[in-house]
Amino acid sequence: MSVESEPGVVEGLDHWRTLPAVQQPAWSDRAALAAVSDELAIQPPLVFAGEADVLRGRLAAAGRGEAFVLQGGDCAETFADATANQIRNKIKTVLQMAVVLTYGASLPVVKLGRMAGQYAKPRSTDDETRDGVTLPAYRGDIINGHEFTLEARTPDPHRLLKAYHTSASTLNLIRAFTTGGFADLRLVHEWNRGFLANPAYSRYETMAGEIDRAIRFMGAAGGDFDSLRTVEFFSSHEALLLDYERPLTRIDSRTGLPYDCSAHFVWIGERTRQLDGAHVDFLSRVQNPIGIKLGPAATADETLALMERLNPTGIEGRLTLITRMGAGTVRDALPALVQEVVAEGGPVTWVCDPMHGNTFSSPSGYKTRRFDDVLDEVRGFFEVHRDLGTHPGGIHIELTGDDVTEVMGGSEEIDDAGLARRYETRVDPRLNHQQSLELAFQVAEMLKRS
Ligand code: PEP
Ligand code: CO
C-alpha cells in the first residue's frame, strides 16, 4: 500500500521556482523544456530511496570516525566519455584507491562516485569570447555542447533526457562491475601490484606488501571472501540544474517523503549555496544525504544557518560539509569553522575537497593543479581535525581512470610542457590513474600515523 505524502510536501517541491536560482541556463525554448520535464517525470528513478537511506547511515558512521569516505570522479562527465572502457577505468581507480585507504585507515571506506549524473557545471561568466566572437559559456553536457559554435552553445533542453539515459547506462555498468565479481578484493589488490611494477612508485612497495600479507592472513584465518566479492558503490553529483533534479524527485512509497532519485547523494556547490536561494530551498525538501561545498570565505555563522535550514532536526549523516580551502589557507581558515560548527551545530561529516582551492593557470595557459598542493591540503585537513579532536571523514577528488596529463607533479613529474600531451578535461584538471593511486598511498600513510 502506498503512503500518502503530507499535505503541502509536493507543492513545496516547487517553491524554489519563486526564488533566485543562480547558475541556470537561459533556455530559449520554454515549451521544449516543459515537454522534456514531463517526460523525465515519468521515467523510472535512477536510484531507490532505500539506497539513499543506507548511504546516510554510512556517512553518519564517517562523521563519528567509524568509516572514511572516498568520493571521486570527473569534474564534468561528458556523453562521449560514457564508454564501457572509461567507466570501467574510473571504477577500477576508485576501488584500487579504496583498498589502500581501507588499509591505511583500518576503517570501512564508503565509495561514492562523482559519476552517473555529473553533467552540469557552474561557470564564472555567462559568456565566452574568442577572436571577437561571444557565445554562451559551456555549462556541461546536460545543457549545451563544448564546441565553440552558436548551435552547440545554445542551451538545448533535450540534453536533459540524454543525461538521464546516459546516467542510467552508466549506473547499470557500475552495478554490474561492483556486484558481478569484478570488484573482488583479491583482484583489486592484483591491479595495485601492476601499478607498483613501475619503478616510479617503488616507494609504496612496503605498504603494498603489508596489504598483501593482510589479505593472505584473512584467507588463512578463514576470512569470508565471498562477502568481499561485491562492493557498495554510490552515485553523486552537484545538484545544480534544478530543471533536471525536480522531475527526478519522487515521493517514496514507504514514507511519503520526497527523494531526489537522480543520485544517492547530491551536493550544493560553493556558488549556489545562498541561504535564500533556490538550491538550498529545493534540497531542504528532499531526504537524500546532501553535501555543501565550503570555500575559504565561508563563515561559521552562514554554515550554521545552512545547517539549520538543511538539517533542522539534526539527522546524523544527512549533511556532509565538503571544505575546499586551498593548501595555503586550510590551516588558518578551517579550525575556527570546525570549532564553532561542532560547538553550536548538529552532527556533520567533514570531507576534504583538496582540488577546488588549488586551481591556477600554468604559464602555457592550462588550468591546472599541483599534486603536492592537493596532498598538502589533505595533510592540513587531517592536522586541523586531529588538533581539535574532530573526525576527518573523507576526501573528495577529481580523477579519471585514464592516462591524462592535467595535474602537474606526482612521481612521474608532469610539468607545464607535459600538460599539452593529453589534456582532455572539459572543465577542471583531474588526477590521472597513477596520480590517483599515488594520492591514495600517501593519504593512507597519513591515516596510519593519525
Ligand atoms: C566542482 O566540484 O566541480 C565545483 C564546481 O566545486 P565548487 O562548488 O567547490 O567550486
Ligand atoms: Co571541478
pLDDT tens by residue, 211-261: 989 988 988 888 777 777 889 999 999 999 999 999 999 999 999 999 999
Domain range for 363? 3-183+230-449
- pLDDT tens digits, one per residue of 32-72: 999 999 999 999 999 999 999 999 999 999 999 999 999 99
Domain for residue 311, yes or no?
yes
Residue 206, in any domain of the structure? no
**Measured in angstroms, how far is the CA atom of residue 70 from the centroid of ligand 1?**
16
Determine, yes or no, domain membership for 210. Answer: no
Which CATH number fits the domain that encloses residue 346?
3.20.20.70
Mean pLDDT within 261-282: 98
Cβ 269 under 6 angstroms from ligand 1: yes
Q: What is the pLDDT of residue 279?
A: 98
Relative to the alpha carbon of 270, which ligand is closest? 1
Of 226, 233, 249, 199, nearest in space to 93 by CA: 233
- The answer, yes or no, to whether any atom of ligand 1 lies below 6 A from the CB of 237, is no
Residue 78 falls inside a structural domain: yes
354-380 mean pLDDT = 97
Q: Which residue has the higher pLDDT, 6 or 296?
A: 296
- Once rounded to an integer, what is the mean pLDDT over residues 265-277? 98
Q: What value does the mean pLDDT take over residues 283-309? A: 98
Say if 253 falls within a structural domain: yes
* DSSP codes, 386-431: HHHT--EEEEEEEB-SS----SBBTTTTB-HHHHGGG---SSS--B
For the residues 269-277, what does the mean pLDDT come to?
A: 98
Residue 23 placed within a domain: yes
Q: Is residue 79 part of a domain?
A: yes
Q: Is residue 350 part of a domain?
A: yes
| Ligand lying closest to the C-alpha of residue 324 | 1
Instruction: State yes or no: pLDDT of 2 exceeds 80.
Output: no
Q: Which of 324, 398, 427 to mutate to test the pocket of ligand 1 (most atoms within 8 A of CB)?
A: 324
Tally of structural domains, the chain: 1
How far apart (Å, rounded) are the C-alpha atoms in residues 396 and 97? 12
Residue 113 near residue 183, CB atoms below 8 Å: no
Q: Which residue has the cell 514514507?
A: 255
Q: Is the pLDDT of residue 177 over 50?
A: yes
pLDDT score for 439: 97
